[in-house]
């Protein structure tokens, strides 16, 4: 029998925990008083975590925010320096919780970066963005790169990288959009935007029929510019430098600015930047 079944987290206890939080009592003080009343520490911690999480989720929805959904997430709660991504030990370089941003190192080998660029080069065209009014695609001055999409699983290299990403962020391969390769010349940029589809835009219901919302993004750096070209998160003044073989992952559990996932590709100031982007959907993307 588990501890939780010995000590029940009752509705009264949940109500009391919410009242304590609303009264401004610190989590440690609430925990101490629960333990003084005979609650086992692990049950008390679980009761506080689940109760406050549920309460916040309820409040967010009551305030008109879209409900939160599960998102891809690397398993790094115990601060490992490496993750076994199946065929490669990927380094954890940086971890941020709000917004959820994780920087990976050693994600792609130099050969994989070069091969992706060479396969993409003859297929490049001016990048488009989703036209939120219609659900179609359009040329946009905010995005001055050139790019192309691989089909999911199009070749052995793409399959290998997609399997690695799925293991790394614990998300089904089939929920991923095709890998996109982007080339930025000097001056090219991608102005700050959200990767989720704005629920208020008329074209969004059409877009969502194919796999639901986007819930995560992985930008992988294939070739380094000499200056500029970082991936920026203006809400938290974070800039991730475009180091070859590295990747920046971020997730967003609701299509709302409260996720603080506004991000952009800063203008390339010298040299050329190449990236591969993997966008992850809630469900299978076909």
Q: Is 195 in the site for Zn ion (CB under 5 A)?
A: yes
Q: What is the distance between the alpha carbons of residues 170 and 172, in angstroms, rounded to a whole number?
A: 7
**What is the Rg, in whole angstroms, of the alpha carbon atoms belonging to the chain?**
22
CB of 262 to ligand PD2, least distance (A): 10
CB of 185 to Zn ion, least distance (A): 19
Q: Residues 85 to 124: which contact ligand PD2 by CB under 6 A?
A: none
Q: Within 10 Å of residue 157's Cβ, how many Cβ atoms?
A: 15
CB of 264 to ligand PD2, least distance (A): 5
Nearest to 277 by CA among 139, 106, 199, 162: 162
Q: Within 13 A of 79's CA, how many CA atoms are on the CB side?
A: 1
Q: Within 10 Å of residue 8's Cβ, how many Cβ atoms?
A: 10
Cβ proximity to ligand PD2, 20 vs 144, nearer residue: 144
Q: What is the distance between the alpha carbons of residues 152 and 285, in angstroms, rounded to a whole number?
A: 10
Q: Is 144 in the site for ligand PD2 (CB under 6 A)?
A: no
Query: 139: which strand partners?
Result: 128
Q: Residues 186 to 215: which contact ligand PD2 by CB under 6 A?
A: 190, 195
CB of 227 to Zn ion, least distance (A): 21
Q: Is 263 in the site for ligand PD2 (CB under 6 A)?
A: yes
Q: Summarize as ranges the residues that interact with Zn ion (CB under 5 A).
A: 195
Binding site for ligand PD2 (CB under 6 A): 190, 195, 217, 219, 231, 263-265, 275, 277
């Amino acid at each position: 029998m588990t501890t939780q079944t010995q000590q029940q987290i009752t509705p009264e206890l949940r109500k009391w925990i919410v009242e304590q939080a609303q009264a401004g009592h610190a989590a440690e003080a609430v925990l101490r008083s629960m333990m003084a009343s005979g609650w086992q520490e692990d049950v008390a911690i679980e009761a506080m975590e689940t109760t406050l999480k549920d309460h916040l989720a309820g409040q967010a929805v009551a305030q008109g925010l879209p409900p939160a959904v599960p998102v891809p997430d690397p398993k790094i709660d115990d601060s490992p320096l490496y993750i076994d991504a199946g065929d490669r030990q990927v380094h954890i370089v940086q971890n941020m919780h709000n917004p959820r941003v994780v920087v990976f190192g050693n994600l792609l080998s130099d050969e994989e970066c070069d091969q992706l660029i060479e396969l993409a080069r003859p297929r490049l065209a001016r990048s488009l963005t989703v036209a939120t009014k219609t659900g179609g695609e359009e040329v946009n001055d905010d995005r001055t790169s050139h790019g192309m999409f691989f089909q999911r699983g199009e070749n052995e290299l793409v399959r290998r990288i997609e399997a690695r990403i799925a293991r790394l962020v614990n998300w089904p391969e089939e929920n991923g959009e095709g890998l996109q390769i982007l080339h930025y010349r000097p001056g090219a940029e991608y102005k700050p935007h959200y990767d989720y589809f704005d629920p208020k835009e008329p074209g969004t219901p059409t877009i969502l029929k194919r796999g639901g919302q986007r819930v995560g993004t992985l930008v992988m750096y294939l070739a380094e510019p000499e200056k500029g070209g970082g991936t920026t998160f203006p809400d938290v003044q974070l800039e991730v430098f475009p180091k070859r073989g590295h990747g920046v992952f971020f997730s967003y559990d609701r299509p709302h600015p409260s996720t603080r996932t506004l991000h952009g590709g800063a203008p390339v100031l010298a040299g050329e930047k190449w990236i591969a982007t993997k966008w992850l959907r809630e469900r299978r993307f076909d």
